[in-house]
Amino acid sequence: MDTATRDDLERTLQEIRDAGLWKHERELTSAQSAHVTTGPAEALNFCANNYLGLADHPQVIAAAAVALEEWGFGMASVRFICGTQVLHTELERRLADFLGLPAAILYSSCFDANGGIFETLFGPEDVIVSDELNHASLIDGIRLSRARRLRYRNADMADLAGQLEAAVGARRIVVVTDGVFSMDGSYAPLDQICDLAEAHGALVLVDDSHAVGFVGPGGRGTPERFGVSDRVDIVTGTLGKALGGASGGYVASHHEVVDLLRQRSRPYLFSNSVAPVVVAGSLAALDLAQRADDLRATLQRNTAAFRTLMTEAGFDLLPGTHPITPVMFPGEDGAVRAARVAEHMLGDGVYVIAFSYPVVPRGRARIRVQLSAGHTEDDVRRCVDAFVAARAAVG
């Protein structure tokens, strides 16, 4: 690389540092859990997607260990060549049954699932109507499609109705939304979305990564929560959050959709299969999630307690009931303040992460706290106390 190019890149990096937007990667020196070590210090972990606390669950670890001995380390191939084991087809069947859809297909990540579905199903004669706060993987996947793209304001049903009117005449119309918006912890109003979609002959696609396993009475996600499981056409999601926290993603839908993805979806056709140990561990995690009423209840209690205590302490929280709880630091200096608070809290043994532009809009910096069923009531109180102490120290 020539000197001019390197100098130009370094100027961009320095601008990120100067703006207080630099994102540090902190190494864990333990397994993922509600209690971790980072460097020599122990810390309470309030920044992982480990909603049910299954990332280090003994049954999940045991299932993965058995699979390592029986099925090997990796597939060294893509699915249609020699990368499919009965483990893969079993997990696909179990996911489809759990979500109440006819079929499912595994991907190496949900990013790949979202990256592979749109160009396969939608072309120039189609319209994709997307929520403005959708996850980056949905946005990138939609960009890969040659379909016409329309965007509506976050969870704004009047704006969605207008965009659907503008899409009339297309061969296929699909409304695309996160089930839970990951930076805000807010739910998409799926019942209203389905009503509008049906009135305009549109499909509904939901990325439910931050819901499957713990949202809804049976943990089946936002379609179950809103009573529209039989009205959502396509669900994408991840195995990397509540369902064991490892890796891998999926699409669940009708047989025709899944069959076409197997034939045409580029991330599926050209990426290695999910490793057998991950598939086996995810099957065990799915078993646990299906009977995890106690874990879901604990998660709800922890979330409610944290929100109540933080509100009483005078912090600015985005409203909601989801375990994602954004603690807001608005204004031009919010990113710097949030980063300093997070750093001070780590010194007190509480691990949280500050989010700033471009992950969230400018002036809307936050510390996104994520509760887990693995946390105790004392853990939650310690987290709140660390916020209070850091606010006093940082200002």
Instruction: Please list the active-site residues.
Output: 182, 210, 241
Residue 187 contacts by C-beta under 8 Å, 6 or more apart in sequence? 179, 180, 181, 222, 225, 226, 320, 322
Dist CA 377 CA 305 (whole Å): 8
CA–CA distance, 242 with 22 (Å, rounded to integer): 28
Tokens 């509506």: give the residue.
152
What DSSP character marks residue 26?
P
Q: Do the bridges between strand 364-370 and strand 354-355 make them parallel or antiparallel, or are there none, so unpaired?
A: antiparallel
| Triad 237, 238, 242: Cα angle to 5° | 110
Q: How far is CA 38 from CA 35, 46, 139, in A?
A: 10, 13, 33
CA dihedral of residues 138, 140, 144, 147 (deg, nearest 10): 50
- CA separation for the pair 107, 88 (Å, rounded): 10
Task: Tell me the H-state helices in the chain.
Answer: 3-18, 58-71, 79-82, 86-99, 110-121, 136-144, 157-166, 190-199, 222-225, 255-264, 266-269, 276-290, 293-312, 334-347, 377-394
DSSP 8-state symbol, 230 = T
- The C-alpha atoms of residue 23 and residue 21 are separated, in whole angstroms, by 6
